[in-house]
């Protein structure tokens, strides 16, 4: 066969039909293969390798039907990444793994047993998908599963999800009458079980109003507290104040409000609403036709 004699000073995209049956093209840096005999299946261009016939796709059987694993391996370090599909499963199953051979069982299969491994499994045979983690030198465990009905299962928990809610209806005949100058409990939620690190949102829509006895001045407070029992006890979350004067009769509706308890101690806690009037010139009251609700929501 004659020696290859590439043109001197080629121009960009200039082609050379070599005596070995291969066609080369100058890409500005090197001569790349653009065509040739049927055996020339791949073309290299710089750091890219592609089928010489770009209309073709790449198929990786990995073995005969029912045997072997089709695989693509990525990386030059000890711990590799893989895309794998076992022929022993029909319909298809796909594994996307890091630092692990998805076809291995138990503690085996880690490229580097001093590092953790992860695996995403998309399984048409079992009709589900899952994510597993294998600790360094340990056994893989499933952290997340999604079935064919959209049901999600987790080994841990979702961040920012309401896990518990407790509520109590506002009383229909509350009054601070006879309790001027002291905090009086309006209502309290049932106990909430709160895990460490949670946040509790407390919403008060209890229909509370100020009923003046005369037009003289008065000061009214409402407060939300954790584990309060009246008398200003517990850990205060929120306190609102209104100055009342010049109102001789009727009912002044007090606004609804909410607060939050950041990282309360883990355990069982209640949340209460308390009312305070400075003197006997009027009272905080609720009414039978619009009680409202005091509720606590655990978010973590």
Q: For the domain that residue 221 is a member of, what is the CATH number? A: 2.60.120.760
Q: Look at residue 40 in the predicted model and tell me its pLDDT.
A: 67
279: Cβ contacts below 8 Å, ≥ 6 apart: 180, 181, 216, 218
On whether both 174 and 208 belong to a single domain, the answer is: yes
Given 57, 81, 96, the domain boundary residue is: 57
On whether both 73 and 45 belong to a single domain, the answer is: no
Write phi, then psi, for 26 (nearest 5 degrees): -85, 120
On whether both 101 and 185 belong to a single domain, the answer is: no
Q: Look at residue 222 in the predicted model and tell me its pLDDT.
A: 97
The structure's pTM equals: 0.55
On whether both 220 and 291 belong to a single domain, the answer is: yes
Residue ranges making up the domain that contains 100: 69-154
On whether both 145 and 232 belong to a single domain, the answer is: no
* Tens-place pLDDT, residues 103-161: 887 777 899 999 999 999 999 999 999 999 999 999 999 999 999 999 988 887 776 77
Given 133, 154, 175, the domain boundary residue is: 154
Given 105, 130, 154, the domain boundary residue is: 154
On whether both 182 and 292 belong to a single domain, the answer is: yes
Answer yes or no: is 42 within a domain. Answer: yes
On whether both 19 and 85 belong to a single domain, the answer is: no
Answer yes or no: is 170 within a domain. Answer: yes
Number of domains in the chain: 3
Omega of the bond leading into 118 within 30 degrees of 0 (cis): no
158: Cβ contacts below 8 Å, ≥ 6 apart: none
Q: Look at residue 35 in the predicted model and tell me its pLDDT.
A: 64
Answer yes or no: is 198 within a domain. Answer: yes
Answer yes or no: is 64 within a domain. Answer: no
The two tokens of residue 165 are: 């809610």
Q: Look at residue 241 in the predicted model and tell me its pLDDT.
A: 97
Q: Look at residue 36 in the predicted model and tell me its pLDDT.
A: 62
On whether both 19 and 73 belong to a single domain, the answer is: no
On whether both 250 and 184 belong to a single domain, the answer is: yes
Q: Look at residue 37 in the predicted model and tell me its pLDDT.
A: 60
Angle at 188 between CA 263 and CA 185, to 5 degrees: 115
On whether both 149 and 167 belong to a single domain, the answer is: no
Answer yes or no: is 239 within a domain. Answer: yes
On whether both 215 and 240 belong to a single domain, the answer is: yes
Spans in the chain with pLDDT lower than 70: 1, 35-40, 159
Answer yes or no: is 147 within a domain. Answer: yes
On whether both 175 and 263 belong to a single domain, the answer is: yes
Answer yes or no: is 63 within a domain. Answer: no
DSSP letter string over 109-156? TBSSTTS-EEEEEEETTTTEEEEEEE-TTS--EEEEEE-TT--EEESS
Provide the Cα torsion 237, 239, 240, 245; round to 10°: 170
Number of CB atoms found within 10 A of residue 51's CB: 12
Answer yes or no: is 216 within a domain. Answer: yes
Judged by DSSP in three states, 206 sits in coil
């Amino acid at each position: 066969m004659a020696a290859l004699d590439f043109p001197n000073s080629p121009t960009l995209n200039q082609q050379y039909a070599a005596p070995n049956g291969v066609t080369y093209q100058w890409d500005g840096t090197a001569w790349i293969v653009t065509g040739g005999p049927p055996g020339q299946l791949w073309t290299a261009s710089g750091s890219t390798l592609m089928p010489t016939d770009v209309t073709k796709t790449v198929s990786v059987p990995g073995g005969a039907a029912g045997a072997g694993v089709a695989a693509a391996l990525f990386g030059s370090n000890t711990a590799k990444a893989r895309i794998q599909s076992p022929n022993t499963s029909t319909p298809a199953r796909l594994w996307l793994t890091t630092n692990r051979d998805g076809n291995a069982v138990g503690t085996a299969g880690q490229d580097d047993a001093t590092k953790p491994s992860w695996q995403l499994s998309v399984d048409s045979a079992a009709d589900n998908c899952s994510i597993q983690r294998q600790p360094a030198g340990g056994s893989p465990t499933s952290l997340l599963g999604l079935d064919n009905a959209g049901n999600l299962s987790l080994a841990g928990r979702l961040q920012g999800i309401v896990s518990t809610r407790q509520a109590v209806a506002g009383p229909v005949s509350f009054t601070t009458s006879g309790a001027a100058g002291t905090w009086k409990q309006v209502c309290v939620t049932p106990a909430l079980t709160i895990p460490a690190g949670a946040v509790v949102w407390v919403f008060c829509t209890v229909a509370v109003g100020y009923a003046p006895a005369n037009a003289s001045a008065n000061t009214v407070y409402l407060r939300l507290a954790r584990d309060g029992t009246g008398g200003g006890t517990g850990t205060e979350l929120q306190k609102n104040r209104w100055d009342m004067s010049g109102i001789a009769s009727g009912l002044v509706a007090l606004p609804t409000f909410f607060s939050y308890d950041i990282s309360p101690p883990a355990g069982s806690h209640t949340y209460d609403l308390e009312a305070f009037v400075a003197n006997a010139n009027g009272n905080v009251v609720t009414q039978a036709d619009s009680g409202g609700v005091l509720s606590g929501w655990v978010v973590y």
